[in-house]
Amino acid sequence: MSFEKFATYREIKSQTEAWAQALDLTKTTQLPKAENYDQVIFSGCGSTYYLSLAVAALYQELNGRAARAISGGELLLNSQTVLTIDQRTLLVAISRSGTTTETVKAVEKFKKEKRGDVVVLSNYDEVLSQLADVSIVIPKGQEESVAQTRSFASLYVAATGFAARTAGRNDLFDRMSTLPETGARLIRDFEPAAREMGENLDFDRFYFLGSGIRYGLACEVNLKMKEMTLTHSEPFHFLEFRHGPMSMVNEKAVVVGLVSESNFSHEKAVLNEMQLLGGKTVALGESGVDIAFESGIPESMRSVLYLPALQLMAFYRSLAKRLNPDRPNNLSAVVKLDL
């Protein structure tokens, strides 16, 4: 079978070109200063909500200012639980298409109520970008397939760069320059392992563990497994997994850990326990793990490297289950609602 006939495969394999464009655009865009705002809200729907979870944690870590993620629908329908009158707020709206109904309507409402400024990250120059005070559009992240892979990664690279630059950490941003080269190497070196794991249908459940700035990414790769393979899959923080969910671990379970350097011993201990319970464990991280980046890039700046191998795992599992990874059940590329 020629895997190249699937848009999903082509998009995963070519994504590092979009990473490079994301870095170039983020570097040359004049961004708002963190000190001008009391809080930052990151918002999106589906994959870009999970991206918001990841980048909000990173933004707060680097800037030392309150940041949180909220889905577009919640920001639209329940903004009173998120926004306060006396805080200067920056809204960062993230959307692959730039036309997702909940996100567009939430931004329109935010601007109408004069809540603050709006930054938009997207892959298409559509209505959402036209509502923005600052817009970064990454065309090389555009996709034919429904499930987000290349687009998500390109937007996450831009969001990571945004967090670093608004913190005045150009030193960290500059270290991201080797991400595309490193990502291409990881795709080449670890595709066989991703395929072997994905094609093994003896496994019937997957758990993705990530903490801190990696939890949102655990949610995202979990979503890829659900969308493309219709497999039972859930994300958790590492230590939370012990509090009940590990009761589901047996020889049919795969526990994937997005391991950090800062909490390596605690996170590896969880994976070791799951192995003792009979589960298959896969660890990704900078070194000393199954899929080692060996990137030399600071931990806060390299998290996009967790994505490609796990996206490929979902792609190959989809084919093994005789599904179409380009067109997951019941889904469309853009969700448009009559609101």
Question: Residue 194 is encoded by which pair of tokens?
Answer: 């991703």
Quick one: pLDDT at residue 336?
Answer: 57
pLDDT for 177 beyond 90: yes
Query: How large is the average pLDDT for residues 150-176?
Result: 97
Question: Where in the chain are all domains bearing CATH 3.40.50.10490?
Answer: 3-177, 178-320
For 46-74, what is the mean pLDDT? Answer: 96
pLDDT for position 333 = 54
3-state secondary structure the chain: CCHHHCHHHHHHHCHHHHHHHHHHHHHHCCCCCHHHCCEEEEEECCHHHHHHHHHHHHHHHHHCCEEEEEEHHHHHHCHHHCCCCCCCEEEEEEECCCCCHHHHHHHHHHHHCCCEEEEEEECCCCHHHHCCCEEEECHHHCCCCCCCCHHHHHHHHHHHHHHHHHCCCHHHHHHHHHHHHHHHHHHHHHHHHHHHHHHCCCCCEEEEECCHHHHHHHHHHHHHHHHHHCCEEEEECCHHHHCCHHHHCCCCEEEEEECCCCCHHHHHHHHHHHHHCCCEEEEEECCCCCEECCCCCCHHHCHHHHHHHHHHHHHHHHHHCCCCCCCCCCCCCCCCCCC
Taking only the tens place, the pLDDT of each residue in 82-104 is 888 788 999 999 999 999 999 99
Of the pLDDT bands very low, low, confident and very high (cuts 50, 70, 90), residue 337 is: low
As given in the structure block, the two tokens for residue 36 are: 């001008």
Give residue 338's pLDDT band: very low, low, confident or very high (50, 70, 90).
Answer: low
178-320 placed in CATH 3.40.50.800: no
Which pLDDT value is given to residue 174? Answer: 98
101-137 pLDDT per residue, tens: 999 999 999 999 999 999 999 999 999 999 999 999 9
Per-residue confidence (pLDDT) for residue 85, from 0 to 100: 79
The radius of gyration computed from the CA coordinates of the chain, to the nearest angstrom, equals: 19
15-37 average pLDDT score: 96
Mean pLDDT in the chain? 95
Residues 6+ apart with CB under 8 A from 174: none
Average pLDDT over residues 238-260: 97
The domain 3-177 having CATH identifier 3.40.50.10490: the answer here is: yes
pLDDT of residue 332: 55
Q: What percent of the chain has pLDDT over 70?
A: 97
Share of the chain above pLDDT 90, in %: 92
Determine the Cα–Cα distance for residues 266 and 185; give it in Å rounded to an integer: 28
pLDDT of residue 329: 72
